[in-house]
Structures are given as structure tokens and as C-alpha cells.
Amino acid sequence: MSASIADENENTERLDDASKNEKMFTLKKWNAVAMWSWDVECDTCAICRVQVMDACLRCQAESKKDSYGKQDCVVVWGECNHSFHYCCMSLWVKQNNRCPLCQQEWSIQRMGK
Amino acid sequence: MITLSQRLKKQQDDRSAAVNRISIRDKLLIKESQEMSQLLPNNCSVFYENENDLSKFILTVKPTEGYWEGGTFKFAINVTEEYNMVPPTVKCLTRLWHPNITEVGEVCLSLLRQHSMDGLGWSPIRRLNDVVWGLHALFTDLLNFDDPLNIEASDMYRNSKEEFRMKVNEYVMLYAKE
């Protein structure tokens, strides 16, 4: 009786060894995927609906026409922390000096990329 | 010195600037027209006179409740080249008795005001969809007797709601039946 139990134990041990040697799956190759986004409150310009870090709709249309391109389309942040393309915002403040998103009086906090 | 070639170049630049402005509007319109037709209120429809020109269309509103129920009201919407720095222009083509729309079709809707200091006027973040829902709401939620364009209509409402209702019905029967 006790001998047969010992035999069984031996058998299962042998099985474990076998499964260690012949794994069902082997990882041969893997690809890592990383996601990123700009660290800003709103990453799309609400005026032209293009990402603020890309050139605005107007500059994109113009650089297609001029071969030298126009890549100085910068981002502007207001005191209200809303960001837009400088090009888009300068057109808008000509007629209404308010942030289109929060209607606060528009004043520039900083500019750049 | 002004030379012919400089003048020609300037003329070309001016023309290409105009073409650019139009294309900005058209680029915005491609997305906005699609969004507008997807989100259209149930009792509204849109008709383009020229399928290749997204900037001019007719909006039809058929109110299902309120004073103007049973009528069919058409608005001509024109999106100008300066869009979206300026709002579209809207004219009501159907004669009606309404405190915020005159009998010749001028429409008083806050979001269509270009220069507004109260924050309710036009802003480039607004889209065609907002304009359509705004016009649709002039027959319900945005109906406003306190800031009228047709003063006679709002005075009539204040004096006698029954008289107002009858005049609205009379106009619907005369001008707003399909």
C-alpha cells in the first residue's frame, strides 16, 4: 500500500520534469507598444480643429503652395490656460478679445512649442 | 519703382490668398456638414441646391410642439468665406409671426451675433450643428419674448396670448403649409 503511493509520487515528479523540458509555448518575439500625448490641457486647437503641436489649417494650406514651407506656426497659451495656434487666435482677437472656450478676457501667458 | 512683373506677382499672391481662405472654410465644412447631418434633430432636414457647394443650404424645420406646430419653416444658410471667424448668415424664407424673426426673415439668435460681449455670441468653436439646433430651438426653448426683433409680436403676446396664437395660426395656414 505505502509502496504504491510512493510509486505514484515518483510518477508525478517525473511528469513535472517532463513538462519543464517541453513547454507548451515559447516566447520567440515580442513588440512593445508605447502611447504618448502632449502634456497640455487641450491638445487640439478649438478654432481650426488641428492638433496645436501641428501647423494650423491655414499654415498647412499655405506650405503646400510654397515649396519652402512655413513651419513657424507656434502655440499660444492664455492666462486661462487654454491653448490655440497663434495664427488662429490672432485672427479671432481682432474681432473679439476673449478666449473662445471660456469667454475670459484674452491675455497671453506664453508662446512657443 | 513699380514694375509690371511685381504687379503681376502681387495680383497672383492676392488671388492665391483668396483661394486659401475659401479652402479653409471648405476644409472645415467637409467635417462639419457630415457632423450636422448625423446629429440633425428629427423634425429637421437639409437640402443643398448645389451638391458641390457645402456653403449654401436650406434648413427645413417642422415644429412638433408649441405655437408653430404643423408649419414648415425654411431657412437659407450661407457660410461665408471668412468662416469660422464669422458666423454663417441666416435668413428665414417662410413668412411667420414670431417675436425673434421678422416678417421679412431677419433672425435674432444670440449665437449668430458676430460682435457680442456677453459670451453668448459667435465663437469659432461653434459649428454648423450648433446653428441648426439653435434655429430649431427658436420654436421651443430659445423662444424669447423679452428681447424681441418683432416687437409687435411680443407686445401682442403680452397683451393677449389668445390673439397671438390666432395670428401665428393664420400665418402658418397662409405661408407655412407645404
- Residue-wise pLDDT for A13-47, tens only, equals 555 555 556 778 888 999 999 988 766 667 899 99
Q: What is the pLDDT of residues B27-69, one digit of tens each?
A: 999 999 999 999 999 999 999 999 899 999 999 999 999 999 9
Could you tell me how far CA A78 lies from the centroid of its own chain? 23
Residues 15-54 of A with CB under 8 A from B: 46-49
Q: pTM for this structure?
A: 0.76
Instruction: Please tell me which residue, A75 or B117, carries the higher pLDDT value.
Output: A75
- Residue B12 — pLDDT band, cuts 50, 70, 90? low
Could you give the angle at which helices B4-38 and B128-137 cross, rounded to 10 degrees? 50
pLDDT at A40 (0 to 100)? 65
- Tell me if the bond preceding B43 is cis, omega within 30° of 0: no
How far is Cα B124 from Cα B26, in angstroms, rounded to an integer? Answer: 15
pLDDT at A70: 47
Reported as a pLDDT band with limits 50, 70 and 90, residue A59 is confident
Tell me the HSE value of B119 on the side-chain side, using a 13 A CA sphere: 8
What residues of B are in the A interface, CB distance below 8 Å? 16, 20, 23-24, 27-28, 31, 84-86, 114-116, 119, 121, 123-125
Note the pLDDT of residue B15. Answer: 61
* Contact check, Cβ <8 Å, B20/A62: yes
Are B112 and B72 within 8 A, CB to CB?
no
Give, for B92, the enclosing helix (H) or strand (E).
strand B89-92
Quick one: DSSP state of residue B112? G
Radius of gyration for the alpha carbons in chain B, expressed in angstroms and rounded: 20
What is the rounded distance in angstroms from the CA atom of residue B121 to the CA atom of residue A92? Answer: 13
Which residue in chain A has the smallest CA separation from B29? A48
Who has greater pLDDT, A80 or A20?
A80
Start-to-end CA distance of chain B, whole Å, equals 64
Residue B20, pLDDT score? 54
Take residue B171 and report the three cell numbers written for it.
400665418
Judge: A57–B16 Cβ closer than 8 Å, yes or no. no
What CA–CA distances, in Å, run from B129 to A101, B31, B67, B111?
17, 11, 24, 12
Q: Nearest residue of A to residue B28 by CA position?
A: A48
Print the SS3 string covering chain A.
Answer: CHHHHHHHHHHHHHHHHHHHHCCCCCCCCCCCCCCCCCCCCCCECCCCCCECCCCCHHHHHHHHHCCCCCCCCCEEEECCCCEEEHHHHHHHHCCCCECCCCCCECCEEEEEC
For B45, the 3-state DSSP assignment is strand
Closest CA to A77 of A36, A41, A38: A41
The reported pLDDT for the residue numbered A3 is 44
- Would you call A49 and B116 a contact, using CB atoms and an 8 Å cutoff? no
Mean pLDDT rounded to a whole number for chain B:
89
pLDDT of B136 higher than 90: yes
| pLDDT in the model for residue B16 | 59
Which of B23, B31, B115 is the closest to A95 by Cβ? B115
Mark yes or no for CB contact A47/B115 under 8 Å: no
State the average pLDDT over residues B113-121. Answer: 81
Return the pLDDT at A5. Answer: 46
Return the minimum-mean-pLDDT range out of A41-50, B81-90, B148-157, B165-174.
A41-50
Q: Which of B20, B115, B125 sits opposite A47 (nearest CB)?
A: B125
Phi, psi of A76 (to 5 degrees): -125, 135
Q: How deeply is A86 buried, as exposed, middle or buried, from its count of CB atoms within 10 A (0-12, 13-18, 19+)?
A: buried
pLDDT score of B153 = 94
Which of the listed ranges A7-11, A26-30, A108-112, B56-60 does the model predict with the highest average pLDDT?
Answer: B56-60
- Which pLDDT score, from 0 to 100, does residue B13 have? 63
End-to-end CA distance of chain A: 80
Pairing of strands A83-85, B56-61: unpaired
The predicted pLDDT at position A6 comes to 45
